């Protein structure tokens, strides 16, 4: 598939007004996307677990308008009008207009809500942008004669990527690859694809408990962080390392070697933050409690032989990943030893999930 394949020819149907609803999850990267080229093309391949409980639900209502000369939309979060969300969506619409030429023909009302608290430090861009992309695809489907399920998902992921890179990994589940990798058939820089090879039972229902260490706004946005990978002294090596991590994971997913898995996952998380600390300007998103938690996890592993491990996003919160069979033991460990490091004792229990769902209006 190329970009051209996502430009529609003509629409055979018309639709004056209506409304569609999608619920789309967040995802957590195992191999990290950090650094991009123009048009949200990633510098390296990444892979993520799709999550289950952390999601955004978006209702998109549309009605034909008189003139087609500008985008027209209103955004609401939990029933509150959010004009500060508009510039990001306007940029998104500009980027995707080529692929959805009907955008200026409608006025849109975008009503969105998250299952996780807004000020939790959990990025809502992956779930939010993927939910919006799916709603727009549902409208395109209503205007078109026939759109296959594969094309629908691929184009939704392609559009979501143009909203926020990691959002392209939230359309389907439960293990999604984005970015071309020589050993992964069908992998693409343009959209996320389901991981196509054997995955060991050890990874079934993998758990992710998110410890909310810092719920505040990040001091440095992901977009700025990605940009700092241009001319970064370690960029070339880092991008090569991501390819190597992916190759190692192919073997690990097959044989279920959790000791090898946790080494890759933790190394990827720390490398992501090492890139931040070695950018110019440099910055640190981890907090003292992030490090306290990491050290506690390492100590717990030595004491109990557990396979629990951590990963980090571009923030201070810690994702604790572990196999389903360790659920009781790890939750007990979290409650007795880690909750103290969370802001207001707040954490979110999640697990690997199967992707976005359309909801009947
Ligand atoms: C650290 O997808 O938020 O979570 O493409 O600029 O919207 P933009 O960035 P974003 O970057 C996420 C980076 C990450 C790692 C990852 O999810 O792979």
Does residue 317 fall inside a structural domain? yes
pLDDT digits (tens, 9 = 90+) for 120-136: 667 789 999 999 999 99
Does residue 75 fall inside a structural domain? yes
Residues 73 and 213 in one domain: no
Atom of ligand 1 nearest to the CA of 169: 17
Confidence of residue 175 (pLDDT cuts 50, 70, 90): very high
Answer yes or no: is the C-beta of 32 below 6 A from any ligand 1 atom: yes
Q: Tell me the residue range of the domain where 253 lies.
A: 207-351
Does residue 338 fall inside a structural domain? yes
Residues 169 and 247 in one domain: no
Confidence of residue 361 (pLDDT cuts 50, 70, 90): confident
Of the residues 166, 197, 228, the one at which a domain ends: 197
Does residue 30 fall inside a structural domain? yes
For residues 26 and 51, give the distance between their C-alpha atoms in angstroms, rounded to a whole number.
6
The full DSSP string for 9-45 is ---S----EEEEEEEEEEEEEEE----EEGGGEESS-
Q: Residue 218's domain is classified under what CATH number?
A: 3.30.70.890
Residue 216 or 318, more confident: 318
pLDDT digits (tens, 9 = 90+) for 156-172: 999 999 999 999 999 99
For residues 15 and 27, give the distance between their C-alpha atoms in angstroms, rounded to a whole number.
33
Answer yes or no: is the C-beta of 170 below 6 A from any ligand 1 atom: no
Mean pLDDT of 338-353: 96
Does residue 356 fall inside a structural domain? no
For residues 294 and 319, give the distance between their C-alpha atoms in angstroms, rounded to a whole number.
10
Looking at the chain, the whole-number percentage of residues with pLDDT higher than 90 is 93
Nearest CA to ligand 1 atom 12: 166
For all residues of the chain together, what is the average pLDDT?
96
Start-to-end Cα distance in the chain: 32
Residues 243 and 183 in one domain: no
Q: Residue 64's domain is classified under what CATH number?
A: 3.30.230.10
Atom of ligand 1 nearest to the CA of 32: 18
Residues 230 and 173 in one domain: no
Residues 192 and 239 in one domain: no
Of the residues 197, 215, 244, the one at which a domain ends: 197
Probe residue for ligand 1, chosen from 25, 226, 285, 312 as the CB with the greatest number of ligand atoms within 8 Å: 226
Does residue 202 fall inside a structural domain? no
Residues 31 and 168 in one domain: yes
Among the listed residues 169, 277, 184, the one whose alpha carbon sits nearest the alpha carbon of residue 232: 277
Residues 7 and 130 in one domain: yes
Of the residues 132, 165, 197, the one at which a domain ends: 197
Residue 119 has pLDDT above 70, yes or no: no
List helix spans (H) across the chain: 86-96, 125-143, 149-163, 222-227, 235-255, 258-277, 288-304, 327-333
How many alpha carbons lie under 13 Å from residue 104 in its C-beta half-sphere?
A: 10
Contact between 104 and 64 (Cβ < 8 Å): no
pTM attached to this predicted model? 0.97
Q: Classify residue 295 by burial, with Cβ atoms within 10 Å: 0-12, 13-18, 19+.
A: exposed
Answer yes or no: is the C-beta of 46 below 6 A from any ligand 1 atom: yes
Residues 73 and 146 in one domain: yes
Answer yes or no: is the C-beta of 226 below 6 A from any ligand 1 atom: yes
Residues 155 and 215 in one domain: no
Atom of ligand 1 nearest to the CA of 223: 6
Answer yes or no: is the C-beta of 222 below 6 A from any ligand 1 atom: yes
Residues 189 and 223 in one domain: no
Does residue 360 fall inside a structural domain? no
Residues 99 and 46 in one domain: yes
pLDDT digits (tens, 9 = 90+) for 55-73: 999 999 999 999 999 999 9
Quote the number of domains for the chain. Answer: 2
Does residue 361 fall inside a structural domain? no
Residues 98 and 218 in one domain: no
């Amino acid at each position: 598939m190329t970009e051209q394949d996502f430009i529609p020819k003509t629409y055979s149907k018309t639709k004056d007004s209506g409304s569609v609803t999608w619920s789309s999850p967040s995802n957590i990267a195992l191999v990290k996307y950090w650094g991009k080229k123009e048009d949200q093309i990633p510098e390296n391949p990444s892979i993520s677990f799709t999550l289950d409980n952390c999601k955004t639900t978006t209702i998109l209502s549309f009605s034909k308008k008189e003139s087609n000369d500008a985008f027209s939309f209103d955004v609401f979060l939990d029933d509150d009008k959010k004009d500060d969300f508009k510039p990001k969506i306007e940029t998104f619409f500009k980027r995707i207009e080529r692929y959805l030429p009907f955008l200026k023909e409608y006025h849109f009302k975008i009503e969105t809500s998250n299952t996780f608290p807004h000020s939790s430090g959990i990025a809502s861009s992956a779930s939010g942008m993927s939910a919006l992309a799916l709603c727009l695809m549902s409208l395109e489907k209503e205007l078109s004669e026939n759109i296959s399920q594969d094309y629908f998902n691929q184009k939704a992921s392609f559009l979501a990527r143009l909203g926020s890179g990691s959002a392209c990994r939230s359309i389907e589940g439960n293990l999604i690859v984005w970015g071309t990798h020589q050993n992964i058939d069908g992998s693409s820089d343009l959209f996320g694809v389901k991981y196509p090879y054997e995955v060991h039972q050890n990874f079934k229902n993998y758990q992710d408990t998110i410890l909310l260490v810092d719920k505040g706004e990040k001091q440095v946005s992901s977009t700025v962080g990605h940009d700092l990978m241009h001319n970064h002294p370690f960029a070339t090596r880092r991008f090569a390392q991501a390819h190597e991590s992916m190759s190692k994971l192919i073997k690990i997913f097959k044989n279920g070697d959790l000791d090898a898995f946790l080494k890759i996952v933790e190394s990827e998380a720390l490398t992501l933050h090492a890139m931040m600390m070695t950018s110019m300007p440099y910055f640190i998103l981890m907090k003292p409690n992030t490090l306290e938690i990491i050290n506690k996890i390492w100590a717990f592993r030595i004491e109990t032989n557990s396979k629990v491990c951590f990963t980090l996003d571009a923030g201070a919160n810690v994702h604790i990943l572990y196999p389903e069979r360790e659920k009781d033991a790890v939750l007990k460990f979290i409650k007795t030893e880690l909750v103290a490091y969370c802001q207001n004792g707040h954490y979110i229990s999640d697990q690997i999930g199967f992707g976005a769902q359309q909801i009947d209006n």
